[in-house]
Structure 1
Amino acid sequence: MDDAETAGNDASAGIYARESEYLGRYVQIGVAGGRLLSLSFPESADPGADDDHELLDRIFAYLEGKRDGFRDVAVALAAATADHHILTAVREIPYGEQASVKQVARMADLDPEDGDDLQRVRQALDDNPTPLVVPDHRVRDGPSAAPPVIEQRLRSVEGL
């Protein structure tokens, strides 16, 4: 996304993970060059993962109810150009609000009445490498890259 954005003060590359009782899974992030590469919710953490990262601290505060849109987190999206626009549009959905797949298509300058464009939005959501930071759980009628139980917990945190 924007070069001025940061993935936290810790710009070191690595995998970081911490277990969440609320989610019943780990929250695992991959970071390189100060940018978030991946965010997942595995049942067990990568064996080499460290648990100390500023972004994990923010995610856990969010899970405890602190409002955070994560818009300042730099995300390294390697998606195709149209998918990049879609995921960037999803980042604009405010905390605690929802959008439809058609609204996301419109926000990404796609045709909300074109079935192929709507499928492209759904596919981009499903392939999202950083759910939560790119908040696909806020798209009420689209898939999330997070497991369904995690998607519901994230929606619950935001009162959706």
Structure 2
Amino acid sequence: MEDVSEAGIYARQSPYLERFVQVGVASGRVLRVSFPENPDDDADTGTDHPILERIFEYLDGVHEVAFDDVQVALTVPTDQRRVLETVRTIPYGEQVDVKALARMTPDLDPEDDDDVILVRTALDGNPAPILIPDHRVRDGPSAAPPAVEQKLRSLEEL
């Protein structure tokens, strides 16, 4: 894994997404991935960061890029963390639905309405789309803007 220990907010314009990709990093972990139309005022847009480099390799679509070795600081409740950790196991180019994701997540029942709501809540609150590929859950919400979600699905031919 690359050294991602340099704390800060890094952003780069994506022609494919038609907006910026912004990554917040602290203590060697990714705190957030977002897709603003304009980067935060304190974002570093002149320095390449290893995580941004990998995201842009992924967006180039030349080859599959895995992010399973990237540490994401999941500051969400434990039950939502389990869901998001399960989302990270969905392979590139594959998709599942919300009930299948509930079935895949330890201690969740896809037939329990509360568990299905939990899955949807976790997806909606995902702090790091792309790294936690919620766009691979076809009938669930994504934390990425709808236009970004659709482009990510198109990229993976989902």
TM exceeding 0.5:
yes
Matched, 1:84 2:78: no
Deviation at 1:50, TM superposition (A): 1.5
Paired residues, number: 154
Deviation (angstroms), 1:10: 3.0
- 1:49 matched to 2:47? The reply is no
Q: Using structure 2 for the length normalisation, give the TM-score.
A: 0.94
1:8-43 CA deviation, whole Å, 9 max, x = no partner? 313111000000011011000000011000000001
- Output aligned runs, 1:8-157, within 5 Å: 8-51=2-45, 52-65=48-61, 66-109=63-106, 110-157=108-155
Q: Alpha-carbon deviations, 1:34-75, whole Å to 9, x = none?
A: 100000000100122123201111111111113112111100
Paired residue type of 2:68: R
Distance in 2 (alpha carbons) for counterparts of 1:76 and 1:159? 29
Structure 1 residue 103: deviation in Å?
1.1
Distance 2:77 2:104 in 1: 17
Structure 1 Cα separation of the partners of residues 16 and 10 of structure 2? 18
Please report the TM-score for the alignment, with normalisation by the length of structure 1.
Answer: 0.93
Quote the RMSD (CA, aligned, Å).
0.9
8 A Cα contact 2:86 2:104, kept in partner:
yes
Q: Which amino acid aligns with 1:35?
A: R
- Aligned counterparts of 1:132 and 1:60: Cα–Cα separation in 2: 11
User: What are structure 2's unaligned runs of at least 5 residues?
Assistant: none
Aligned equivalent of 1:3 = none
Distance apart, 1:156 and its partner CA = 0.8
Any idea what SS the aligned residue of 2:114 has? helix
Runs of 4+ off more than 6 Å? none
Q: Could you tell me which residue of structure 2 aligns to residue 158 of structure 1?
A: 156
